[in-house]
Structure 1
Amino acid sequence: MNSYQEINAPLRTIMTPGPVEVDPRVLRAMSTPILGQFDPAFTKMMNETMDMLREVFQTRNKWAFPVDGTSRSGIEALLSSVIEPGDKVLIPIFGRFGHLLTEIAERNKAEIHTIHCEWGEVFDQEVIIEEMKRVNPKVLAIVHGETSTGCMQPLDQIGPACRELDVLCIVDAVATIGGTPVKVDEWQLDAVIGGTQKCLSVPSGMAPITYNERIEHILSSRKKVEKGIATSEDHVNAGEPIQSNYFDLSQLQDYWGPRRLNHHTEATTMLYGLREGVRIVLQEGLTARFKRHKLHEKALMEGIKAMGLKLFNDVAWKLPMVTCVKIPDGVDGDSVRKMLLEQFGIEIASSFGPLHGKIWRIGTMGYSCRKENVLFVISAMEGVLTRHGVQLNSGKGLQAALDVYESVE
Structure 2
Amino acid sequence: MQPLSLPPRLLMGPGPINCYPRVLSAMSTQLVGQYDPTMTSYMNEVMALYRRVFNTQNQQTFLIDGTSRAGIEAALVSCLEPGDKVLIPIFGRFGHLLAEIAERADAEVHTIEVPWGEVFDPQQIEDAIKKVQPKLLAIVQGDTSTTMFQPLEELGDICRAHDVLFYTDATASIGGNPLEVDAWKIDAVSVGLQKCLGGPSGSAPITLNDRFVSCVRKRAHVEAGIRDAHHHGSSGMRIRSNYFDLPMIMDYWGDERLNHHTEAATMLFGSRECAIQLLNEGQDAVLKRHQLAGNAMLQGVLAMGLMPFGNLKHKMNNVVGVHIPVNVDGEKIRHDLLAIFNIEIGTSFGPLKGKVWRIGTMGYNARQDAVLHTLQSLETVLRRAGFGLPAGAAVDAAMAVYSGEV
**TM-score, normalization by structure 2:** 0.96
Verify: 1:328 aligned to 2:325, yes or no. yes
Q: AA paired with 1:356?
A: K
Structure 1 residue aligned with 2:32: 35
Structure 2 residue aligned with 1:68: 65
Structure 2 residue aligned with 1:367: 364
Structure 2 residue aligned with 1:145: 142
The Cα shift of 1:146 comes to 0.7
Secondary structure at the counterpart of residue 307 of structure 2? coil
The Cα shift of 1:313 comes to 3.2
Structure 1 residue aligned with 2:198: 201
Range with greater deviation from structure 2 (66-75 or 308-317): 308-317
Structure 2 residue aligned with 1:26: 23
Verify: 1:272 aligned to 2:269, yes or no. yes
Q: Percent identity?
A: 54
Would the alpha carbon gap of residues 331 and 408 (structure 1) be closer, same or farther in structure 2, given more than 3 Å must change? closer
2:340 maps to which of 340, 343, 348: 343
Secondary structure at the counterpart of residue 193 of structure 2? coil
Instruction: Work out the CA distance in 2 between the residues paired with 1:301 and 1:122.
Output: 19
Task: Give CA deviations for 1:29-53 in whole Å, capped at 9, x if unaligned.
Answer: 1111111111111111111110010
Secondary structure at the counterpart of residue 142 of structure 1? strand
Structure 1 residue aligned with 2:160: 163
Instruction: Work out the CA distance in 2 between the residues paired with 1:408 and 1:383.
Output: 25
2:116–2:310 CA contact under 8 A, matched in 1 = no
Q: AA paired with 1:162?
A: C
1:70–1:207 CA contact under 8 A, matched in 2 = yes
The Cα shift of 1:258 comes to 0.7
Secondary structure at the counterpart of residue 228 of structure 1? helix
Verify: 1:397 aligned to 2:402, yes or no. no
2:122 maps to which of 122, 125, 128: 125
Moved >3 Å (runs of 4+) = none
The Cα shift of 1:314 comes to 5.3
Structure 1 residue aligned with 2:231: none
1:222–1:239 CA contact under 8 A, matched in 2 = no
Task: Give CA deviations for 1:279-325 in whole Å, capped at 9, x if unaligned.
Answer: 11000111111000000111111111112111113521111111111
Secondary structure at the counterpart of residue 316 of structure 1? helix
2:102 maps to which of 90, 100, 105: 105
Verify: 1:94 aligned to 2:91, yes or no. yes
Q: AA paired with 1:180?
A: N
Verify: 1:382 aligned to 2:379, yes or no. yes
2:117–2:311 CA contact under 8 A, matched in 1 = no
Secondary structure at the counterpart of residue 11 of structure 1? coil
Task: Give CA deviations for 1:177-221 in whole Å, capped at 9, x if unaligned.
Answer: 111111111110000011111111111101000011111111221
Instruction: Work out the CA distance in 2 between the residues paired with 1:12 and 1:408.
Output: 31
2:320–2:358 CA contact under 8 A, matched in 1 = yes
Instruction: Work out the CA distance in 1 between the residues paired with 2:178 and 2:403.
Output: 26
Q: AA paired with 2:150?
A: Q
Structure 2 residue aligned with 1:235: none
RMSD: 1.4
Q: AA paired with 2:247?
A: S
Task: Give CA deviations for 1:237-278 in whole Å, capped at 9, x if unaligned.
Answer: x96121110000000001001111111011111100000110
Secondary structure at the counterpart of residue 116 of structure 2? coil
Q: AA paired with 1:94?
A: F
Instruction: Work out the CA distance in 1 between the residues paired with 2:45 and 2:177.
Output: 22
Instruction: Work out the CA distance in 1 between the residues paired with 2:317 and 2:175.
Output: 12
The Cα shift of 1:154 comes to 0.6
Instruction: Work out the CA distance in 1 between the residues paired with 2:104 and 2:226.
Output: 27
Would the alpha carbon gap of residues 229 and 354 (structure 1) be closer, same or farther in structure 2, given more than 3 Å must change? closer
Secondary structure at the counterpart of residue 259 of structure 1? coil
Structure 1 residue aligned with 2:232: none
Instruction: Work out the CA distance in 1 between the residues paired with 2:4 and 2:236.
Output: 50
1:14–1:348 CA contact under 8 A, matched in 2 = yes
Instruction: Work out the CA distance in 2 between the residues paired with 1:251 and 1:299.
Output: 45
Instruction: Work out the CA distance in 2 between the residues paired with 1:103 and 1:80.
Output: 11
Secondary structure at the counterpart of residue 14 of structure 2? coil
Instruction: Work out the CA distance in 1 between the residues paired with 2:311 and 2:165.
Output: 32
Verify: 1:217 aligned to 2:214, yes or no. yes
2:166–2:186 CA contact under 8 A, matched in 1 = yes
Verify: 1:185 aligned to 2:182, yes or no. yes
Instruction: Work out the CA distance in 1 between the residues paired with 2:380 and 2:387.
Output: 10
Unpaired stretches in structure 2, ≥5 consecutive residues: 228-234
Q: AA paired with 1:283?
A: N
Q: AA paired with 2:17?
A: V
Instruction: Work out the CA distance in 1 between the residues paired with 2:265 and 2:338.
Output: 33
**TM-score, normalization by structure 1:** 0.96
The Cα shift of 1:371 comes to 0.7
Structure 1 residue aligned with 2:79: 82
1:66–1:207 CA contact under 8 A, matched in 2 = yes
Verify: 1:6 aligned to 2:20, yes or no. no
Verify: 1:315 aligned to 2:312, yes or no. yes
